[in-house]
Amino acid sequence: NGIYQITGAQPTPAATVSDLVAIAIGSGLINSAWAADEEDFERLIDQSMSASGPTLIGVRIDDKPGVGTTRRDPVQIRERFMLGLGVRQPL
């Protein structure tokens, strides 16, 4: 996917320069492909179920907020993480 949505929409390496399917194929996962749309995704799922060996299906999604997710911001994520580690007191 092209962005880290919940931490501020920073671009990921996959947004411009990294082709994850090409990396998978180069790593020996010959059953790897990008899904062009939902129909193609379903076709690739069916293929993967009968393939010998592992399969990677690359899927690009939009940058819209997920349905039913909670609001998160980078500061809140950091504070909860630090609190969980026990290195910070609640604000």
Residues in the chain with pLDDT values less than 50: none
Task: Record the pTM.
Answer: 0.61
Question: 34: which strand partners?
Answer: 58
Which domain, by its residues, includes 52?
3-63+70-85
User: Is there a domain that residue 90 lies in?
Assistant: no
User: Is there a domain that residue 52 lies in?
Assistant: yes
Structure tokens at 32: 């790897």
User: Is there a domain that residue 80 lies in?
Assistant: yes
Q: What is the pLDDT of residue 91?
A: 64
- The number of folded domains in the chain is 1
Question: 3: which strand partners?
Answer: 11
Q: What is the pLDDT of residue 90?
A: 67
| Ordered DSSP codes for 17-67 | T--HHHHHHHTT--EEEE--SHHHHHHHHHHHHH-SS-EEEE----SSPPT
Closest CA to 55 of 31, 72, 71: 31
| 60 and 34 Cβ atoms separated by less than 8 Å | yes
